[in-house]
Each structure stands twice: as C-alpha cells, then as structure tokens.
Amino acid sequence: MEIWINPACSKCRSALGLLDEEGAQYTVRRYLEDVPSEDEIRVVLERLGLAPWDITRTQEPEAKALELAGWPRTDESRDRWIAALASHPRLIQRPIITADDGTAVVARTDEAVRDAIGRG
C-alpha cells in the first residue's frame, strides 16, 4: 500500500496515524517533492474510478490562476486536466492510498482509510 501525502495536511497526518494504529504496512510518497507523472496520475485515476477534476483541489491559488473552474469536464479535456495536476501537484486531492488489490481511495476520512486497509 502507498499513501500520497503532503506532510503539512492535517488529513494526511490523521491518515498516517490511523495506518500506524492499525499496524498497516505502507510506503509514503510526498507527492509535492516526488511529483507523479501524467501516466502515474492516469493509473491512480483508473484505480480510483474517478476523473481528474474529481481529485482536483479547485480552491488552491494555482487552480484560480489557471481558471480551472471554467475548464470543460469532458473526456476530450481529461489530458489537459491531468497535465495540470502533474505540473501543479498541489492541486491533487490528498491523501490518496493505493491498495495492494489494485484499487485506490481518497482517504480524507477514517472510514476511507479503514476501507483501504481492508483491501490490503
């Protein structure tokens, strides 16, 4: 299991605490330092079953500067959104846990973290 975190994020710290409390085996990826490639983002989106705009933090200053609110949310625009996430990783929702069973969750709640732990 791998968890993408921003150490400054309280939700990320909470998820790490719960993983430790439950004795889960995991690796940490500080995605602001170890920025995911466009291909890695595509894989995580597929594992999540979500579109790129579903994991975009639209209230970040970068999102406002890019005027993401006005971008179309269509299949044709997916690559544009993914490129924005790879170029501006602060826009990626966090934490994201990729489970050993090939799925992933946006782990913003204890329930979502426990769900990921249950998936192995």
12 is catalytic: no
Contact indicator for 2, 85 with CB cutoff of 8 Å = no
Map residue 90 onto helix, strand or coil.
Answer: helix
Query: For 94, which DSSP code?
Result: S
Q: Which is the catalytic residue, given 9, 24, 48, 50?
A: 9
The helix-helix angle for 78-87 and 38-48 (nearest 10°) equals 120
The CA distance from 58 to 92, in Å, is: 9
Name the token pair of 2.
Answer: 């791998």
- At residue 2, φ and ψ (nearest 5 deg) are -130, 145
Catalytic residues: 9
